[in-house]
Structure 1
Amino acid sequence: MIKASIIGATGYVGIELIRLLQKHPRVELNELVSNSRAGSKLIDVYPQFRGSQVADYYLKDLSEFEVKDNDIIFTALPHGVSQNIVAELFDQGVKIIDLSGDFRYHDTDLYTEWYGIEHNFSELACKAVYGLSEFNRSAIKKASLVANPGCYVTASLLALLPLVNFSKADLSSIIIDAKSGVSGAGKSLKQDLLFTESYNTMKAYSPGTHRHSSEIEYILNRFLEQSYFQSEFGSEFLALHNFNSANNQKATVLFTPHLVPVKRGIFATIYLKLNAESSKEELTELYNSFYETEKFIQLIPDSLPELKYVAGSNYVQLGFRYNKRTDQVIILSALDNMLKGAAGQAVQNMNIMFNLAEETGLEATALFP
């Protein structure tokens, strides 16, 4: 059995990790750490776990946590907080999956620019493996530290990456219009997230300046750098998809997130200009070549994704339309921000790290209706 602990166990992502891991057939949940609720019984904080395997667990303070007897630790903490804790845990013989933004960039100056926080562990950041499961298996499998991608970023990258090597794609024209459920903002109390403030309305926030713009752009451009691609993402992927960086393109992204009055979910509508005429058939073949064997990617070129068909699952739905009049591709991507956008992908990465089938513990379908 894989012994796993969660630091940051009472946030929304932490609770999803508990829910998934306590039913995982190859995992034994060890310790649950939550400084804000230390000393409380889990079911006193989250009564939905009554009758479960973890009903009698007590939440611990971080000062009481011992690394020993763990095979893997999930750190579900805010950015800026996580880097210090991960640095203490690293090199203690345990694998780590970090769900903050602290280790997603090898370029820590870029992290500081977009997050407004100094990164104190540049060397460690360069050792972290980016945890986009479908594109980075070979590196994740060997990793000691995996940086789980953000939810907006996962929805956007899975939609865009098949087009990165498409000779007709103008990667300087990417526009991402994305919507998130309220849970994406976390559990802390904020006036603009109160029911009366967020229900029956819709609003944009940080248009063009949201930090996830930089993560999407950064990873797309690392994919375009063949040397990085070979070392981080595996030569077998290069060979499979005939990767070619000779076009010297640079991806630029205009990204605007919106808050919509649903509990969970990410829905991204992405626009990308083409340099030459294409067709629905050509694009379908392109996406099929990337995703036809992927368990959690549902390609639906003849219909359109909806949040209700993925909420509560680790699945992603991708649809697209080609507009011949404007030579533009419109890609639609839907996923559950708490699962494939966070805890579900983290468990998928854990399965890869321990040579388990990726779908282990993650085969639940969506909660619709």
Structure 2
Amino acid sequence: MITSKLMRPLTTGGVLASTVLFASGCKSMIVFDPKGPIGEQQRDLIYFTMLLCLIILVPVLLIAAWIVWRYRDRKNNRAPYQPVWSHSTKLEIVWWGIPIVIIVVLAVVTARYTYALDPAKPIESDKKPVTIQVTSLDWKWLFQYPEQGIATVNYLAIPERTPIKFELTSDGPMNGFWVPQLGGMIYTMSGMATTMYLQADEPGNYMGTGANFTGRDFAKMGFTAKALPQKDFDRWVADAKASGNALTEEGYQTLAKPGTTDRMTFASIPSGLFERIVHDYSMSRGAPPGYTLRAVTLSEEKKAEHTAHPKNGQLPPGNGAQKDAPDAQSLGQPDHRSGHMHLIHGK
């Protein structure tokens, strides 16, 4: 009995202390410390959503606590449990009407913010946007500055108070490009180029990261986005051009291989490299275009190998491979009966 009496205030104190620590920890959550117009609007939407949810959550929790206390089972309570059920139209209107109104308000506000925060929508500014082409690799980030003719790996320099037009793609698995203090995350996908506008309103170093699981070293795909005054940014570009380290086509192929690397700066880049990365996946790395081309299955490949080398033994049973597989001579050759081309994939 004494132990239970002591545990109650300790438990209450622990809950209150945890709440205070959690609330104070929000100050270090960088999503709630935006440094750009996109990030500020997203933070405002989060706050507004949380406020509407609290309008429902707080009264419900208070009423639940009051009901538990009011109708608790007391010592020596011998009163029979004889509930009397009744219906109240007014109460039904209250506890259904308020949530419906809140959901409608939240839907309207979210729709307005969704339109205003379209990633591809340019940011209003009297300054010309700076274009940066972003390519996610395994496991590193390549940033190209086509207007300046330079490139960096695993770090990003941008001028402050200037809209940045990010053109994003992937030369590997899909990833997520995210600089939390500047704005929302957008995916990078092979064979596709997406666009996102961000802006930093003050100088500083902002954390950037890959926000999608992409294999062994995905956790190392972090980078720093450094916002500089315009004069410092121009000086940085001049220093990068003077570094003399050129990114060649062969150098890019080496860079694109899976692995990690330190920060790198390139004084020049191949013309149209970003467009070729996108085009390469959309045209030549996938299946050949056209609905008249049919890929050969694994069973058909095994059938071809067996026909070419009879000593390898019989085909494994199942899937009708022996019945449905085409002749070896027809693989890779036009099928004059159907007008189709048989292609072998997977090797």
Same fold, TM-score > 0.5, yes or no = no
The structure with the largest helix share of the pair is 2
Q: Which has the larger radius of gyration?
A: 2
Give the structure-1-normalised TM-score. 0.20
Give the structure-2-normalised TM-score. 0.21
Looking at both structures, which has the greater relative contact order when contacts are Cα pairs under 8 Å and sequence separation is at least 6? 1
